[in-house]
Amino acid sequence: MSFFKLQNLPQPFFVLAPMDDVTDTVFRRVIADCAAPDLYFTEFVNVDGLQSPGRPKLLKKLRFTEVEQPLIAQIWGKNPENFQTTADEIASGSLARELGLPEGVNFAGIDLNMGCPEKNVVKNGTCSALINDPELAVAMIQATQAGAAGRLPVSVKTRLGFNEVTWDWPTTLLQQKLNMLTIHGRTRAQMSKVPADWAAIGQVRALRDSLSPDTLIVGNGDVMSRAQGEALAKEHGLDGVMVGRGIFQDPYLFAEDTPWLNLERAERISLYRSHVELFAATWRNNERPIHTLNKFCKIYINHFDGAKELRELLMNATSADELLAIMQAA
Q: Is the CB of residue 286 less than 8 Å from the CB of residue 41? A: no
Beta-bridge partners for 14: 241
What integer pLDDT is reported at residue 3 of this predicted model? 61
Selecting among 34, 116, 127, 297, the annotated active-site residue is 116
The H-or-E segment that residue 46 falls in is: strand 39-46
Work out the pLDDT band at 1, boundaries 50, 70, 90.
very low
CATH entry 3.40.50.10540 includes domain 8-248: no
Work out the pLDDT band at 135, boundaries 50, 70, 90.
very high
Q: Show me where the domains of the chain are located.
A: 8-248, 263-329
What integer pLDDT is reported at residue 151 of this predicted model? 96
Q: Which of 10, 40, 71 is nearest to 238 (CA)?
A: 10
Interior angle at CA 71, CA 70 and CA 73, nearest 5? 150
Q: How many CB atoms lie within 10 A of CB 258?
A: 18
132 Cβ partners below 8 Å, 6+ apart? 162
Q: Which of 134, 140, 201, 139 is nearest to 172 (CA)?
A: 134
Q: Give the residue-averaged pLDDT of 179-184.
A: 98
Q: Give the residue-averaged pLDDT of 125-144.
A: 97
Q: Give the residue-averaged pLDDT of 236-259.
A: 97
297 as an active site residue: the answer is no
